Homo-oligomer: A and B are copies of this chain.
Amino acid sequence: MSITKNEIKLIRALQQKKVRNQEQLFIVEGIKGVREFLNSHFELYKLFSTESIFDIDTTLISEQDLQKISALKSPNTTLAIFRKPMEQPIRESGLLIALDDVRDPGNLGTIIRLCDWYGIEHLICSLETVDCYNSKVVQATMGSLTRVYVHYINLGDFLKQTKLNVFGTFMNGDNIYSETLPNEGVIIMGNEANGISPNIELLVDKRIGIPRFGKLKAIESLNVATATAIILSAFKMK
């Protein structure tokens, strides 16, 4: 049993967010990544590999077919289609991260890894934030996506109803190094170019920021993934 034309068509189409939403499917590439998803709560839809490595139903394909369906320059043996998980309720306790229109797949991937590292199980994304089932994001998370629940919601509506304290990160926010930071709250990180949007800013209870130690002429801002690392670390450091 080899790969069918329809399967090739489906896999290619799953590069589009619209199709991923319609079909409720997404792609994972590479042995290591696929193994992480197989060992998780995610449900496999279809597995393609150039070798029989896994103890489950595998469609064996040629290197050429793998080249055809892979989005990577050097595809790594295996490509799998998984089902997108059922939506989970957001657990509004402890620390949550909320992203206000983060657009870069690499940044989202790094932030999901950071959530995993720091035990943040729920990541909230505005509807304009890049899709976490984008193949570049899946690749960048190195399996962390199996342990962090990513929710796409109207961020303003969520913040209006939450009882948690809302922290917003701004260039001129209060110095995270001299504040006493709690174990609970929502921390909002803004868009790469524009920061937190004005309508979300109105819903912030507490403005925080990372102080700059460099010379006067030093760089204007940090990358959002780097800033998330520093902020999360400051909240967890005690």
Where the two chains meet, the residues of A that have a C-beta atom closer than 8 Å to any C-beta of B are 106, 110, 113-114, 116-119, 142-144, 147, 177, 210, 212-215, 217-219, 222-223, 225-226, 229-230, 233-234, 236-238
A223 touches B113 (CB 8 A): yes
Name the residue of chain B whose CB is nearest to the CB of A140: B223
Q: Which single member of B213, B217, B236 contacts A213 (CB below 8 Å)?
A: B236
Copies of this protein in the complex: 2
* Secondary structure class of chain A's binding surface, majority of residues: loop
With A118-B213, A230-B230, A234-B233 as contacts: A110 and B223 at CB distance below 8 Å: yes
Name the residue of chain B whose CB is nearest to the CB of A220: B142
7 A–B contacts from the bound complex (CB under 8 Å): A113-B223, A117-B210, A117-B212, A119-B214, A143-B219, A147-B219, A213-B236
A116 touches B236 (CB 8 A): no
For the complex of A and B, 8 pairs with smallest distance between CB atoms: A119-B213, A119-B214, A229-B229, A230-B233, A177-B237, A226-B229, A116-B219, A118-B213
A219 to chain B, nearest CB (A): 5
A218 touches B114 (CB 8 A): no
With A113-B226, A119-B218, A226-B226 as contacts: A233 and B233 at CB distance below 8 Å: yes
